[in-house]
Structure 1
Amino acid sequence: MCEDNHGTSGLGRRALVVTGAAAALTLGGVSFASAAGRDQETRTVRGTLPPGSPDFVYVPVEVPAGVRELRVAYAYDRPTVPAGTPGNALDIGVFDEHGTELGGRGFRGWSGGARTEFFIRADEATPGYVPGPVRKGTWHIALGPYTVAPQGLSYEITITLTYGEPGEAVHPTYPPERAKGRGRAWYRGDCHLHSWHSDGRRTPAEIAALARAAGLDFINSSEHNTHSAHAHWADVAGDDLLVMLGEEVTTRNGHVVALGTDPGTFVDWRYRARDNRFGRFARQIRRAGGLVVPAHPHATCVGCNWKFGFGEADAVEVWNGPYTPDDEVALADWDSMLVASVREGREGRDGRSWIPAMGNSDAHRDPDPVGSPQTVVLADDLTREAIQAGIRAGRSYIAESSRVSLSFTASGGRGEHAGIGERLRVAPDAPVTVWLEVTGAPRCVVRFATDQGVLFTSGPLGVDGSGVAEWRTTASYAAYVRAELRHEAAAGPVPGALAAFTNPIFLGRGVD
């Protein structure tokens, strides 16, 4: 075993490079001898990162020919820090001989802070990592100092190469892009889920079983910063469950769900809003057939709050997991965006002037419930393309579980009719009737929200959770209307937690 030390002084001596992404530092390299006469060889690297370290620190590893397996283990210190000050958190991943350039051509895996070791070989790899040959060349261990304590972050990396024949490479299979649907119908899905391929604790099979138990028709694979799970869903998909493939692109300035991309699509995350690079990767997601969905935009964890703006968004995740105050803020912010789209009369990308809402569970482990909340989409069939079209058009509502169902429509006096995500084209002063039918929401309150605010509130539904609410208005009084189902509030004027809410129905002739 050989040892190298990367001390804090090394940060001053080595070049700090900005590669068109977040600032990155490349340390001195680690070399291995040739494979001749050896079964295995190990190197250990130690160093300390100071507060204010770059977003990514790369440790080059010179890999000789004849390597069967690369194995990496790491550890770092966690000193006591003052109250209110983040402690140490160090993420890890690896890039192969194709390099670390932004775009990820050399990407071979990422586990963030979820694992202390990983391996890669031709026929298998640790979840989060992509199997394949360990070829000769300069590999890079990627360290991500997520937060650094005032005392600095001391780390130790142990790299082990096992020599020998590489073994037979695996050929990935992917789930089909369609399941057995019901034609044009409402389909339920959860598009933000984590398995053991990132920081979740469930296998794909366990997630699929929970999705079926939750009454879901579709799900989306969305691991943090890796596409390694894509090849592990084929066996658990079926006629009754559509599995779409994607990624949760986890940057230092917010997270975005790449929803329903082509199999094997990797989306890089190594940039901040100030780098002006997000548009490039949003376009990559769409070229790969996916949707761009900013996740939990007002989450309070470090780096989780969305700072890239919504100009590239196809939808936004307004409700994430159990309903909390940051979801209430996200709902209010989204409603303000609806008001702005009406006020400015602007037409956005694809001719659309507004951004639809979604809700997903972001479930990681027990007891996180899969499918709470869930997005219920009106789609022409249970296919990737049809589900995405329904989400993009806003033909959807969000419910806390499959027990909650609703029908929400608006009609005019001359037989005009519109549903969720549509426009009721009527004259400004023509009478409009808004109608909501609910099942599965016991003791919930119905609210109709508009660009003016909440203009209609019903008394609580009965214990059977069923009921109908009706309201009359005009397009001059309400530019749009959307429905909310709220649980009874514990006390005071603050509304209760959501049980469901819809995307809007727009009223009036609008912009053609």
Structure 2
Amino acid sequence: MCDDNELHHSIGRRTLLVTGTAAALTLGSVTFAAAADGDQETRTIRGTLPTGSPDFVYVPVDVPSGVREIKVSYTYDRPSVPAGTAGNALDIGIFDERGTELGGPGFRGWSGGARSEFFLRADDATPGYLPGRVRAGTWHIALGPYTVAPQGLSYEITVTLTYGEQGPVVEPVYPPGRAKGRGRAWYRGDCHLHSWYSDGRRTPAEIAALARAAGLDFINTSEHNTHAAHAHWADEAGDDLLIMLGEEVTTRNGHVVALGTDPGTFVDWRYRARDHRFGRFARRIRKAGGLVVPAHPHATCIGCNWKFGFGEADAVEVWNGPYTPDDEVALADWDGMLVASVREGRDWIPAMGNSDAHRDPDVVGLPQTVVLADDLSREAIQEGIRAGRSYVAESKDVSLSFTATGGKGEHTGIGGRLEAAPDTPVTVRLEVAGAPRCTVRFVTDQGVLFTGGPLPVAGSGVFEWRTTPAYAAYVRAELRHETAAGPLPGALAAFTNPIFLGRVH
């Protein structure tokens, strides 16, 4: 092994004043000299990032020919900070010799803050990174200073190149786009899940087993800012489980699930709302056959709150994991969007729910979106979600049937529209199973107009309410758990997308 060489980078306030309007900063290059097969060369890079650093800092690494493997490890300091002040958090990833262009082909992996080291070679790579040939040229280690303490963020990066003949490139195998299914039926799914290919702790096999135990018919992979997991799910798919491929695009202004994209699709995340670039990548998701689903839009973690607006959304994740106050805010916000769609005569955005499960004790399938689809295929499930033919339930035990019927027997279900004159009598009917002691609420564009229950211990019941299109532009149903005290309703056990009443104006 060759002796270590050390490089020191310092980013001062003057540098930040020059580059502060940019989203990224590129430091000086790290160089290596070619070596004999079997040899290793190591370089250590040290630097300090001040508060107010750019979102991304790139460290160029000049890789000579003859390299078999790149290995990168890093550490950074975590000083004590006053209460209420963010400490240090530094993400990491890498781009190959094709460059760091936004949306370009150079992406080779991202682990955020989940790993302290990674490697890449032709036949293998650390989870979250893409195997493939190590070609000569300038690679870039990408640092993402998520938060920086007032004292600054001091880091140390160690890059080791191993020389020798490269192994064979492994051709990826992807899960099929269709499972056996039951024809037109209600299918249960969880479309926001994390494995050890990003910051989760479960393997794909463990997640697939939990999905089956939760009664799910489909799932969608959604690793943070990487598609490296796509080639590792084929063995877990089967006639009983459709596995769709996607990504959780984790920006500094909110997260969006790319749901059911073509295998191998990478969606870049290196922008904020003020950069006016999200529309480009929303179109990228749809061009790759996916749906654009803003995730946990009112989550309280740094960078999680959705800032891009909903003009590009195909659906919105209203319920994320165990029901919490930010889900209640998201539900109210979504209901306001339904009212606006009626008022302005424009398309509405369906809601869905997912677990966002990462590790034990996170429950896969809490909640789950239940979709009426023509088949258990990627396209059919997506079409059902896009059309709003779905409801969200906390588990496989909860099932709903929600319909609206007019005076002449015309009827429709969740996500549909009952075409009727303003004064036409309409009967709204909800059949519930698996929700013991829950209360039923029918919510319209003017609020909650019907409350029923609580349901008996057996958890089943039927509720009917009569209205007209003039009185209610839409109706949606909620199942709520018991609440201890106070005016706020209990946590959701399930909720439906709306049924719209009346003719389209």
TM-score range, shorter chain: over 0.9
Checking the alignment, whether the CA contact within 8 Å between 1:15 and 1:26 is kept in structure 2 is no
1:398 aligns with 2:401: no
Q: Which amino acid aligns with 2:368?
A: Q
Distance 2:458 2:125 in 1: 50
Specify the alignment match of 1:12 in structure 2. 15
Specify the alignment match of 1:356 in structure 2. 350
1:292 aligns with 2:287: no
1:3 aligns with 2:33: no
Distance 2:103 2:305 in 1: 23
Specify the alignment match of 2:163 in structure 1. 163
Q: How does 1:51-450 map to 2 (within 5 A)?
A: 51-346=51-346, 353-450=347-444
Q: Which amino acid aligns with 1:197?
A: Y
Checking the alignment, whether the CA contact within 8 Å between 2:97 and 2:139 is kept in structure 1 is yes
Checking the alignment, whether the CA contact within 8 Å between 2:36 and 2:164 is kept in structure 1 is no
When normalised by structure 1's length, the TM-score is: 0.97
1:454 aligns with 2:457: no
Cα deviation 1:417-452 (Å, max 9, x = unaligned): 010000001110110000000000000000000000
Specify the alignment match of 2:459 in structure 1. 465
Checking the alignment, whether the CA contact within 8 Å between 2:20 and 2:54 is kept in structure 1 is no
Distance 2:73 2:52 in 1: 24
Distance 1:356 1:13 in 2: 42
Q: Which amino acid aligns with 1:88?
A: N
Checking the alignment, whether the CA contact within 8 Å between 2:12 and 2:50 is kept in structure 1 is no
Cα deviation 1:79-120 (Å, max 9, x = unaligned): 000100110000000000000000031000000000000000
Q: Which amino acid aligns with 2:471?
A: Y
- The SS at the match of 2:234 is coil
Q: Which amino acid aligns with 1:184?
A: R
Q: Which amino acid aligns with 1:89?
A: A
Checking the alignment, whether the CA contact within 8 Å between 2:184 and 2:373 is kept in structure 1 is yes
Specify the alignment match of 1:349 in structure 2. none
Cα deviation 1:250-295 (Å, max 9, x = unaligned): 0000000000000000000000000000000000000000000000
Cα deviation 1:353-410 (Å, max 9, x = unaligned): 1000000000000010000000000000000000000000000000000000000000
Displacement of 1:17 in angstroms is 8.3
Checking the alignment, whether the CA contact within 8 Å between 2:296 and 2:319 is kept in structure 1 is yes
Displacement of 1:15 in angstroms is 6.5
Checking the alignment, whether the CA contact within 8 Å between 2:58 and 2:142 is kept in structure 1 is yes
Distance 1:138 1:218 in 2: 41
Checking the alignment, whether the CA contact within 8 Å between 1:28 and 1:59 is kept in structure 2 is yes
Distance 1:13 1:489 in 2: 51
- The SS at the match of 2:313 is coil
Cα deviation 1:224-267 (Å, max 9, x = unaligned): 00000000000000000000000000000000000000000000
Checking the alignment, whether the CA contact within 8 Å between 1:10 and 1:27 is kept in structure 2 is no
The root-mean-square deviation of aligned C-alpha atoms, in Å, is: 1.2
CA change 1:413–1:100 in 2 (3 A) is same
Residues matched between the structures, number? 502
Distance 1:279 1:56 in 2: 21
Checking the alignment, whether the CA contact within 8 Å between 2:9 and 2:47 is kept in structure 1 is yes
Distance 1:231 1:33 in 2: 34
Distance 2:447 2:329 in 1: 15
Distance 1:374 1:354 in 2: 21
Q: Which amino acid aligns with 1:109?
A: G
Distance 2:142 2:90 in 1: 10
Distance 1:364 1:11 in 2: 41
Specify the alignment match of 1:486 in structure 2. 480
Checking the alignment, whether the CA contact within 8 Å between 2:37 and 2:165 is kept in structure 1 is no
Q: Which amino acid aligns with 2:444?
A: T
Checking the alignment, whether the CA contact within 8 Å between 2:46 and 2:155 is kept in structure 1 is yes
Q: Which amino acid aligns with 1:490?
A: A
Displacement of 1:8 in angstroms is 3.2
Distance 2:318 2:411 in 1: 27
Checking the alignment, whether the CA contact within 8 Å between 1:15 and 1:25 is kept in structure 2 is no
- The SS at the match of 2:235 is coil
- The SS at the match of 2:365 is coil
Distance 2:212 2:299 in 1: 28
- The SS at the match of 2:328 is helix
CA change 1:156–1:14 in 2 (3 A) is farther
- The SS at the match of 1:282 is helix
Q: Which amino acid aligns with 1:77?
A: D
CA change 1:5–1:11 in 2 (3 A) is farther
Checking the alignment, whether the CA contact within 8 Å between 1:321 and 1:363 is kept in structure 2 is yes
Displacement of 1:7 in angstroms is 1.8
Checking the alignment, whether the CA contact within 8 Å between 2:8 and 2:46 is kept in structure 1 is yes
Distance 2:309 2:18 in 1: 32
Displacement of 1:14 in angstroms is 10
Q: Which amino acid aligns with 2:90?
A: L
Cα deviation 1:6-27 (Å, max 9, x = unaligned): 1233972997387xxx610000
Distance 1:35 1:431 in 2: 83
- The SS at the match of 1:235 is helix
Distance 1:284 1:259 in 2: 12
When normalised by structure 2's length, the TM-score is: 0.98
Cα deviation 1:48-91 (Å, max 9, x = unaligned): 00000000000000000000000000000000001001100000
Q: Which amino acid aligns with 2:289?
A: G
Distance 2:333 2:12 in 1: 45
- The SS at the match of 1:448 is strand
